[in-house]
Each structure stands twice: as C-alpha cells, then as structure tokens.
C-alpha cells in the first residue's frame, strides 16, 4: 500500500557537496524559527519539551484536511478510502522507522504518557498481583513513575527503583539485583529528559530477559536523536511522542510485541476496536485496532508519518552527529562559566544540557534568557525525584535539535553572562 | 518591550540575596506551607498572632529572586498589622502585580512593595510574587494543607 514516496531511505538531503552537514538548509525547512522574540532572533533551545515542525509536516496536515479528510476504516467512498490509505501508510512508515517486525505491532496513541498508561492498565493489571514488583529507574519522568505507582497501590504490589550515580548514570549492578522472581515488568527510559543520560538499553533488556522480565521503554527523548531498532533491542514495549520528533502534538506510538499485545485485554473500548457486537457478547478487533478505540487522530498520524520521513530524509546519523557536536561545544562553553554546575554528566548523553548557577534560581535564568530571545526550560522537568537526587529544586535546561547552531550556543553563553551581570 | 530592570530592581535583588526575617519562629502559633509546583518554589510562613495582630512573622524555604524578595518584604510590611490590614495589602498587591490596579488609585498602602509593579509585565512570574502572600493567607486562616499556586 505504501507508495514509493512514503518509503523511508529516501535521498539524504542536508549534506552539502562538501560533505558537511548544512544546518542552514535544515533551518529553512522550519518556518517558526525565523522570527524575533523581544527584539532578538529566536534561539529555540527547549526541544526536549517539544520540537518545532518542518514545512513538510505542516503541509501534510493541511493537505489532508484540504483534500482527503474522512473517517477511516468505515466508508466505502473515495475520501474515506484515501484517508484510510494515508493513515495506514503512516503506520508502515512508523514500522519501518522502528524496524518492527509487523505493522500490527504499531499502535497509535496520544503520546508517550498514554502509551505507558495503556500498558499499565492492560498488561499491568492482568500480570501484576499482590506481592509482585515493578522495576523502574531513579531517572524516570513522572509519566513513567505515576502509572506504576497507581498500579502497585491498586494491586498491593511493590515499586522498586534502581539508583543512579552522581553523574546521572544508572547503577547497572543494582538494576540487575533488583530483577527478582516477583518482578513482572521493568519500565525504563531510553534517554533521561532531565539529565540527558543514554541508558545501556540493550544490556538492560538482556539482563531483564535473563530473568524472564519483560521491558517497557520510554523512548520519548531517544527517538528524535538516535536510530531505534526494536528488534535489535528486543524490547517488549517501546513508546514515544510524535511532537518531540518534529511531528504534531497529540499523537504518539506504542510498539508492542504481537504475542504480548494479543494476550492483553483492550484499553479503551468503543468503535473501531471491535469486530462484532451484540448485547450478549463483543468480539474484539484484530491488532492493532483492538487498541485504537474511536475515531483516531487521523491528521496527527499523517503528520507523524511526514515527520518520520523528514527525519529519515535528513538521516539519523547526520542528526545525531550534528547534535553531538552541539552538545560537546555547549558543554565546554557553559561549564567554563564561573558559578555554573552541570546536572547530568554521564559519559553517554543526548541533546540535553541541564545546569544550575550558584545563588541564582533557574526561574530567574529563564526569564532573563527569554528577554534575549532564548527559550530554555526551567523547573523540575517532571522529574522531581531526579531533582531531589541532585539536591536542587530545579534546573535550567537547554536542549538541542537538528536545526540548532553553534552560533545559538554562543548566544546562550552570552545570555548566561547577562544573567550573572543582573545578579552581580 | 519590558525591561529586565523593571522586574529585577535593586531592592528586589538585595532582598533576594539577604532576605529579612528568614528563620523559624519558635513563638509561632500559625504556620502554613506554600508550593509552586511549576517551578518547585516552596516556602513556610510562620506567624505569631496575638489576638488580631501579627506580632511577629518569619519565613523559610527556597525559590527564585522574585518569590524570595516578595516573601522578605511581605514579612516587613505586615509585622505589627492586624489580619484585616494584611489581607487588604495583599489585595492591593495582587491587583498591582496582575496589572489590575485601579486607575488613579493610591499606592501609599503598598509602600516599598511598589518595586514589584514590574511583575505585571511578566505574567508567568505573578505566581512567584504572590506565593508568600497566598501562604500567609493560608496561615492566618489556619489551613493545614499546603497551598499551591496551581
């Protein structure tokens, strides 16, 4: 069903004739970047919160609403067939993007949060019983803590937490030791949103599987920055949000191994997720539709498909290399500023530079940077346990995307100098 | 365009660096905790109430420059006032930082607190400026649960 245009592995564009990554060509694809904020050129460094959208994504959504809008999987009419074809083509794009074995293993959800809640409410409620354990890590986002807390409270099960060191790296031995006979699931982040730490996921999954423990991966902060191959990782569930990978808000993906998804009870119920309904009995639809009740976010799915194609067009290796260069450049420059302390100094990091400045609250840093057109995130980043671990109430966080430049890092450094002047 | 110096006036910076009445208050008979979940600011306000009068007041906690300076200056201005007077000042202060101060209204009641008038140009910082005041209000009402800006 996928037309050639929708296939990934298209021509990689942004590498210029000289073989260098051409960030200016990438920037030209993002309409929002070319504006002034408080009289200064916008420097958008809040990408871990959400990324900006390329023209290709905006156009795909507009094209859908202007040319193909209809409900999916229902009508026999022309528009409905078009909409269904585009919707399912996006599913194949996601399948290819994650290298999933089957498209029926790709479930569309609202985002990472819903993906985790889906697994907690279906797989979790079916598998976790009194006295069982769910294992997470100390660097999880609230969305990979609270659903398990609620489940464990309800089931009188126990939530176990593997610690991290002062660099923000997972203590692997402790993680391995906490995988016990009562562990029913390990739910771990691929990349920490507050620290930038990249977890040694493949090794962790091997450890868990050697104890017969399935693994759910929160991939929200990983998918925009690195190639994810769910078959190579052998993870049981992998979930991410579209909006952090240049796609629209309100759409995300839950990948699950077909055998697990088959065995799970449905999540929400209603239209589309059934194959037949009588007042006596309902037969659920096949995968993945069993988990997609109601009219889905069709435009969002099509936009997400366009985003993943865009990313593939740039080439994940190019994106990763460019961002790695920015992070290294920024780490050196920002840590050289007197009074600055980096929070999260793991050896393996992606895209995130979290920091505090002595005697200056992150909130004040954020306001003063904003006045210079620089957008960063300040606060606890929905990771209060991480803040507690490092003894800070909050941090300032700059996070990078493919369209950021070294010049913007320079602006950030000048901005931080200005913060220090105001508080001098 | 709003000027940073309108927000971060010298008096505010000075109070944030050396907050007044920053301590626990053994004689306190009223106390409340205030919390801004968005940025993690957290303060405890202690009040020694004698009849209707705020005989002594202090605070502790962590927060940004705006919230800390606001707490510090609040303790100075309400000390010795009655509960009703303190609540009235809070009302006027709230109007000022949200940009709803009545035209031609007198600012005399607010005194030094007028240094916070620049906050009205920074809507996301209004909660920082009012956190200590909400907490004081809760302490005076004898509320047990921490107040939240959300």
End-to-end CA distance of chain B: 28
A158-162 vs A133-137, strand pairing mode: parallel
The half-sphere exposure of A60 on its side-chain side, counting CA atoms within 13 A, is: 28
Contacts of A336 by beta carbon, 8 Å cutoff, 6+ apart: none
Q: Do A379 and B122 touch (CB under 8 A)?
A: no
Q: Do A393 and B62 touch (CB under 8 A)?
A: yes
- In chain B, the percentage of residues whose pLDDT exceeds 90 is 77
Q: Do A367 and B1 touch (CB under 8 A)?
A: no
User: Phi-psi bin for A233: left (phi > 0), alpha (psi -120 to 50), beta?
Assistant: alpha
Mean pLDDT of B135-140: 96
User: In chain A, what is the greatest distance between 2 CA atoms, to the nearest angstrom?
Assistant: 74
Contacts of A38 in chain B (CB under 8 A): 1
Buried b (16+ CB within 10 A) or exposed e, A230-258: beebebbbbbbbbbbbbbbbbbbbbbbbe
Q: Using a CB–CB cutoff of 8 Å, tell me whether A363 touches chain B.
A: yes
Supply the pLDDT for residue A393.
87
Q: Sheet containing A395-399: which strands, arranged edge to edge?
A: A340-343, A352-357, A395-399, A377-379
Neighbours of B31 (CB within 10 A): 18
CB A134 within 8 A of CB A183: yes
Q: Using a CB–CB cutoff of 8 Å, tell me whether B8 touches chain A.
A: yes
Helices (H) and strands (E) in chain B, counts: 5, 4
Nearest CA in chain A to B36: A379
Cα angle, residue A145 at apex, residues A239 and A298 outer, rounded to 5°: 30
Contacts of B73 by beta carbon, 8 Å cutoff, 6+ apart: B11, B15, B20, B112, B113, B115
Contacts of A379 in chain B (CB under 8 A): 38-40
Burial of A410 (0-12, 13-18, 19+ CB in 10 A): middle
Low-confidence residues in chain A, pLDDT < 70? 1-7, 9-19
B65 in any annotated domain: yes
B102 in any annotated domain: yes
pLDDT digits (tens, 9 = 90+) for B7-44: 999 999 999 999 999 999 999 999 999 998 877 789 99
Report the CATH number that the domain containing residue B82 is assigned in CATH.
3.90.1010.10
Q: Do B4 and A364 touch (CB under 8 A)?
A: no
Distance separating alpha carbons of residues A376 and A355, to the nearest angstrom = 11
Catalytic residue among A176, A258, A260, A382: A382
The half-sphere exposure of B132 on its side-chain side, counting CA atoms within 13 A, is: 32
Distance separating alpha carbons of residues A25 and A14, to the nearest angstrom = 6
Distance from CA of A239 to the nearest CA of B (A): 25
Domain ranges of chain A: 13-44+315-422, 62-312
Percent helix, strand, coil in chain B, to 5, is 45, 20, 30
Q: Using a CB–CB cutoff of 8 Å, tell me whether B4 touches chain A.
A: yes
Percent helix, strand, coil in chain A, to 5, is 45, 20, 40
Q: Using a CB–CB cutoff of 8 Å, tell me whether A311 touches chain B.
A: no
Residue B146 has pLDDT above 80, yes or no: no
Please state at what angle helix B126-141 crosses helix B83-97, rounded to 10 degrees.
160
Q: Using a CB–CB cutoff of 8 Å, tell me whether A146 touches chain B.
A: no
Nearest CA in chain B to A383: B40
Q: Using a CB–CB cutoff of 8 Å, tell me whether B122 touches chain A.
A: yes
Q: Do A394 and B42 touch (CB under 8 A)?
A: no
Q: Do A393 and B41 touch (CB under 8 A)?
A: yes
The helix (run of H) or strand (run of E) holding residue B68 is helix B65-78
**Residue-range definition of the domain harbouring residue B63:** 4-141
Distance separating alpha carbons of residues A356 and A340, to the nearest angstrom = 6
Nearest CA in chain A to B11: A423
Distance separating alpha carbons of residues A271 and A1, to the nearest angstrom = 24
Distance from CA of A123 to the nearest CA of B (A): 31
Q: Using a CB–CB cutoff of 8 Å, tell me whether B18 touches chain A.
A: no
Contacts of B4 in chain A (CB under 8 A): 367-368, 371, 422
Residue B1 has pLDDT above 50, yes or no: no
Q: Do A371 and B63 touch (CB under 8 A)?
A: no
Contacts of A390 in chain B (CB under 8 A): none
Contacts of B128 in chain A (CB under 8 A): 363
Supply the pLDDT for residue B106.
61
CATH class of domain segment(s) A62-312: alpha beta
User: In chain B, what is the greatest distance between 2 CA atoms, to the nearest angstrom?
Assistant: 47
Of B1, B40, B65, the CB nearest to A364: B65
Q: Do A423 and B125 touch (CB under 8 A)?
A: no
Contacts of A205 by beta carbon, 8 Å cutoff, 6+ apart: A215, A233, A234, A235
Phi, psi of A41 (to 5 degrees): -60, 135
Q: Do A364 and B17 touch (CB under 8 A)?
A: no
Nearest CA in chain A to B123: A367
Burial of A390 (0-12, 13-18, 19+ CB in 10 A): middle
Q: Which DSSP letter does residue A54 get?
A: -
How is residue A267 written in tokens? 């999540």
How is residue B59 written in tokens? 């605070």
Of A39, A363, A423, the CB nearest to B13: A423
Distance from CA of A420 to the nearest CA of B (A): 12
What is the C-alpha radius of gyration for chain B, rounded to an integer number of angstroms? Answer: 14
Supply the pLDDT for residue A380.
87
Distance from CA of A343 to the nearest CA of B (A): 16
CA distance readout (Å), A310 to A2, A12, A241, A313, A387: 16, 10, 16, 5, 35
Establish whether A382 is a catalytic residue. yes
Which of A36, A38, A361 to mutate to test binding with chain B, by most B CBs within 10 Å of its CB? Answer: A361
3-class DSSP state of A360: strand
pTM of the model: 0.93
B114 in any annotated domain: yes
Burial of B3 (0-12, 13-18, 19+ CB in 10 A): exposed
Buried b (16+ CB within 10 A) or exposed e, B92-131: bbbebbeeebeeeeeeeebeebbbbbbbbebeebbbbbbb
Report the mean per-residue pLDDT for chain B.
91
Neighbours of A365 (CB within 10 A): 26
Contacts of B23 by beta carbon, 8 Å cutoff, 6+ apart: B58, B60
How is residue A394 written in tokens? 């909050």
Place of tokens 């002595």: A358
CB A1 within 8 A of CB A92: yes
Do you find a cis peptide bond into A288, omega within 30 degrees of 0? Answer: yes
CATH architecture for segment(s) A13-44+315-422: Alpha-Beta Complex (3.90)
Q: Using a CB–CB cutoff of 8 Å, tell me whether A395 touches chain B.
A: no
Closest CA to A401 of A329, A298, A313, A327: A327
Q: Do A363 and B62 touch (CB under 8 A)?
A: no
Supply the pLDDT for residue A13.
65
Which A residues, 30 through 49, put their C-beta within 8 Å of a C-beta on chain B? 38-39
Of B7, B38, B64, the CB nearest to A361: B64
B97 in any annotated domain: yes
Please state at what angle helix A362-370 crosses helix A406-422, rounded to 10 degrees.
120
End-to-end CA distance of chain A: 63
What total of structural domains would you count in chain B?
1
Q: Which DSSP letter does residue A124 get?
A: I
Supply the pLDDT for residue A271.
85
């Amino acid at each position: 069903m996928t037309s050639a245009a929708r296939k990934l592995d298209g021509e990689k564009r942004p590498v210029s004739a000289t073989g260098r990554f051409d960030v200016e060509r990438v920037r030209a694809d993002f309409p929002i970047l070319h504006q002034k904020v408080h009289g200064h050129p916008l420097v958008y460094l809040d990408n871990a919160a959400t990324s900006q959208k390329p023209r290709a994504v905006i156009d795909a959504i507009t094209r859908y609403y202007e040319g193909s809008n209809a409900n999916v999987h229902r009508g026999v009419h022309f528009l409905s067939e078009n909409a269904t074809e585009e919707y399912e083509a996006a599913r194949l794009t996601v399948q290819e993007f994650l290298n999933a074995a089957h498209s029926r293993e790709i479930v569309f959800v609202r985002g990472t949060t819903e993906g985790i809640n889906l697994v907690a409410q279906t797989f979790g409620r079916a598998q976790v019983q009194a006295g069982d354990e769910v294992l997470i890590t100390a660097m999880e986002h609230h969305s990979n803590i609270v659903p398990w807390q609620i489940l464990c409270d309800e089931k009188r099960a126990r939530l176990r937490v593997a610690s991290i060191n002062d660099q923000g790296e997972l203590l692997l031995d402790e993680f391995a030791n906490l995988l016990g006979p009562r562990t029913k699931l390990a739910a771990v982040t691929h990349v920490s949103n507050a620290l930038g730490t990249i977890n040694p996921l493949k090794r962790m999954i091997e450890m868990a599987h050697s104890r017969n423990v399935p693994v759910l991966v929160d991939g929200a902060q990983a998918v925009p920055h690195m190639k994810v191959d769910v078959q190579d990782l052998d993870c049981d569930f992998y979930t991410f949000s579209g909006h952090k990978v240049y796609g629209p808000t309100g759409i995300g993906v839950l990948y699950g191994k077909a055998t697990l998804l088959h065995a799970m009870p449905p999540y929400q119920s209603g239209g589309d997720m059934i194959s037949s309904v009588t007042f006596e009995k309902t037969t659920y639809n096949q995968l993945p539709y069993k988990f997609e009740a109601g009219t889905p976010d069709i435009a969002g799915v099509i936009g997400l498909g366009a985003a993943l194609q865009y990313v593939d067009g740039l080439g994940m290796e190019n994106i990763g290399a460019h961002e790695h260069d920015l992070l290294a450049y920024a780490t050196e420059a920002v840590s050289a500023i007197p009074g600055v302390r980096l929070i999260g100094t793991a050896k393996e990091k992606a895209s995130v530079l979290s920091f505090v400045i002595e005697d200056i609250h992150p909130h004040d840093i954020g306001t003063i940077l904003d006045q210079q057109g620089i957008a960063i995130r300040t606060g606890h980043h929905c990771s209060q346990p991480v803040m507690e671990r490092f003894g800070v109430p909050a941090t300032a966080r700059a996070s990078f995307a493919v369209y950021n430049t070294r010049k913007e890092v320079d602006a950030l450094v000048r901005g931080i100098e200005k913060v220090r002047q105001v508080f001098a | 365009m709003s000027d940073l110096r309108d927000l971060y006036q010298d008096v505010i910076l000075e109070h944030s660096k050396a907050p007044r009445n920053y301590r626990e208050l053994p004689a306190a008979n009223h106390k409340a905790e205030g919390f801004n979940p968005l940025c993690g600011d957290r303060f405890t306000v202690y009040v020694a109430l004698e009849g209707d009068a705020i005989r002594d007041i202090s605070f502790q906690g962590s927060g940004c420059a705006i919230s800390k300076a606001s707490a510090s200056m609040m303790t100075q201005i309400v000390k010795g006032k009655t509960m009703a007077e303190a609540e009235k000042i809070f009302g006027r202060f709230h109007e000022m930082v949200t940009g709803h101060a009545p035209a031609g209204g007198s600012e005399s009641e607010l005194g030094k607190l007028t240094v916070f008038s620049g906050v009205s140009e920074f809507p996301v910082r209004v909660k920082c400026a009012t956190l200590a005041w909400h907490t004081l209000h809760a302490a005076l009402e004898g509320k047990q649960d921490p107040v939240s800006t959300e």
